[in-house]
Amino acid sequence: MRPHRCELCHIDLKHVSVTRGGQEVLQDINMHIHCGQLTVLIGQNGAGKTTLVRALLGEIPYTGTIRHEDGHGRVLGHLRIGYVPQHLAFDRDMPVTVQDFLASAFTRRPVWTGVSKSTREKAIQALSQVNAEDLIDRPLGRCSGGELQRIQLALALTPEPDLLLLDEPVSGVDQNGLKVFLDTVRALRGGRHLAILLVSHDLQFVREYADHVVLLDRTVLVQGAPDPVFSSDAFAQIFTGTEVAAQ
Amino acid sequence: MNAVYAFLDAVLPLEALQFSFMKNAFLAILLLTPLLGLLGTMAVNQQMAFFSDALGHSALTGIGLGIILGIENDLVSMLIFGILWAVLISLIKHAGFSSADTVISVFSSTSVALGLLILSRGGGFAKYSSLLIGDILAVTPADILYLLIALVAGVGIWAVMYNGLLLTSINSSLARSRGVKTRLYEMAFSVLVAVAVMLAIRWVGVMLINALLILPAASARNIAKTSRAHAVFSVLFALVSGIAGLFSSFWWNTSAGAAIILYAAAIYVITLILRRFVRG
């Protein structure tokens, strides 16, 4: 873990726009993702949440700037992102254990030649951060959706990133699994030098877990603490009669 | 080479191995099958069986174009064309024009048709028919040398690329977020498979080469739980089918390629039955 802890470092998005096929799918996004906070991105399907994630990951071209800054606006080197994808739609029949999966990301030694003791320890260490060390020898295809999510979280946290980028799954994880996952994420945010952005596809937990909520519909409609965002006009317009009714 | 022959005579004093063409074939199998077995594990994981099948077929076009362009060594023309084909299929697949299956099917049938058209000019295809079923007994000491180089280079490249490819086959966005150049890796793997297939095709034949790449890895997958077991079993199954097939074809006086694949298929059936006991 890095020596200092700070509340002020942030990832600064300024005028971020993405154009695809002649259409502007993201328009002038301005927001901060603060270190030590859980920022949650909400919005309906097609609002551009996944596009924003891909822009942050550098997978698609965008205009505007995404910078990692300290409290005085000074740029802090390369932004290291730990990413937990939404789907892990891999071939469940693949002969790969959790250890193989983690080791393939941690070392250059080809996994088919075996996994060294130190790499195994590193993998166990990573899993213990998310209380999943007992999964180490399980075939990856035999893990439940919630377990896979925690395994990926363990991977995303090693080495410790500046930004933890979590794309919450739409399906495949039950409510209990999701709660365990979010509890783990919430526990992380306190003790580490880490900013967290969670893309949430259902609103049920957002109010309870988020520090900062960003409502997206191709651009940022409203952002702030959960309560003001949830009672805003924009929120009511976007979610009328759908998820709000379920709350 | 004589020292190698003497060593074989001492270690394996078999009647069948008295002939130098059998010694050469045996050595070729020892070098070729482990490479195909290893590469096969990822080809199966990445669901590339159809892709490698199409690559095998493109050997016909490679030889045909080689003849037209006046390239004397048909291995060179097969390699060049195979690599070109692999790169082209990968590029079109990623451009996302249509589903991978369709793209590969179009490539496969086009290359077979083009190859047959060129090679059958003037009714002369009969002299190329050995390409279809292969002839492992035609291996020369020079061939063994390049197979050795291919094995060493192939395993070396494979060792460097494996972890990145494994991550990519689980989730490519995740792999990219960890600095894996997924496109480059997938392309390099396609090219590696192309080279291995082209090197093997004269001995195993266009019709069966894909089976030798896919069957051992598919069998291994039935009973392996870890990446390591997958690789070990796949190489083992490829070697065993290769050696058993070679000797059987000698005794039965049949095509070696066919016998090798039948052994590989038998192993597949056995592992399929074992699967429920091993993997539950």
- What is the tens place of the pLDDT at every residue in B196-243? 999 998 888 888 899 999 999 999 999 999 999 999 999 999 999 999
How many angstroms separate the CA atoms of B106 and B108, rounded?
A: 5
Contact B229 A95 (CB under 8 A): yes
- Kindly tell me if the per-residue pLDDT of B103 is higher than 90: no
Tokens for B52, please give them. Answer: 């490698």
Contact B163 A90 (CB under 8 A): no
Q: What number is the average pLDDT over the span B87-111?
A: 80
Q: Which residue of A has its CA nearest to B180?
A: A105
Q: What is the pLDDT of residues B22-50, one digit of tens each?
A: 999 999 999 999 999 999 999 998 888 88
Does B174 touch chain A if contact means CB atoms closer than 8 Å?
yes
pLDDT at B34: 95
Confidence class for position B161, pLDDT limits 50, 70, 90: very high
Contact B226 A83 (CB under 8 A): no
Q: Which of A90, A93, A109 sits opposite B169 (nearest CB)?
A: A90
Q: In CATH, what class is A1-80+161-247? A: alpha beta
Contact A100 B166 (CB under 8 A): yes
> Do the strands A195-199 and A38-42 form a parallel or antiparallel pair, or are they unpaired?
parallel
Residue B199 lies in a domain: yes
How many angstroms separate the CA atoms of B216 and B214, rounded?
A: 6
Q: What is the DSSP letter of B122?
A: G
Residue B143 lies in a domain: yes
- B277 vs chain A: nearest CA distance in angstroms? 15
How many angstroms separate the CA atoms of B269 and B264, rounded?
A: 9
A172 vs A107, higher pLDDT = A107
Of A127-141, B53-67, B123-137, B175-189, least confident by mean pLDDT is: B123-137
Query: Considering the entire predicted model, what is its pTM?
Result: 0.87
Q: Which residue has the tokens 């035999």?
A: A142
Residue B27 lies in a domain: no
- DSSP-based three-state secondary structure for B225: coil
Domain membership of residue B176 as a residue range: 33-207
Q: How far is CA B159 from CA A112, B96, B156, in A?
A: 9, 29, 5
- Kindly tell me if the per-residue pLDDT of A73 is higher than 80: no
- Kindly tell me if the per-residue pLDDT of B104 is higher than 70: yes
Confidence class for position B280, pLDDT limits 50, 70, 90: low
Q: How far is CA A217 from CA A26, A44, A213, A245, in A?
A: 8, 7, 13, 20
User: What residues of A are in contact with residue B41 (Cβ under 8 Å)?
Assistant: 112
Q: What is the pLDDT of residues A85-140, one digit of tens each?
A: 887 778 889 999 999 999 999 999 999 999 999 999 999 999 999 999 999 999 99
Is the complex ipTM higher than 0.95? no
Confidence class for position A247, pLDDT limits 50, 70, 90: very low
- Tell me what the pLDDT averaged over chain B comes to: 89
CB A146 within 8 A of CB A177: yes
Contact A112 B173 (CB under 8 A): no
Contact A111 B163 (CB under 8 A): yes
Q: What is the CATH number of the domain that holds B78?
A: 1.10.3470.10
Residue B23 lies in a domain: no
Tell me: cis bond preceding B216? Omega within 30 of 0 counts.
no
Residue B134 lies in a domain: yes
Question: Where exactly are the structural domains of chain A?
Answer: 1-80+161-247, 94-158
CB proximity under 8 Å: B 45-64 to A: 45, 47
pLDDT at A242: 57
Contact B225 A97 (CB under 8 A): yes
User: What residues of A are in contact with residue B224 (Cβ under 8 Å)?
Assistant: 95
Number of independent structural domains in chain B:
1
Question: Considering chain A, what percentage of its residues have pLDDT values greater than 70?
Answer: 92
- B96 vs chain A: nearest CA distance in angstroms? 14
How many angstroms separate the CA atoms of A40 and B121, rounded?
A: 67
For residue B95, the tally of other CB atoms under 10 A from its CB is 9
Does B113 touch chain A if contact means CB atoms closer than 8 Å?
no
Confidence class for position A155, pLDDT limits 50, 70, 90: very high
For residue B12, the tally of other CB atoms under 10 A from its CB is 11
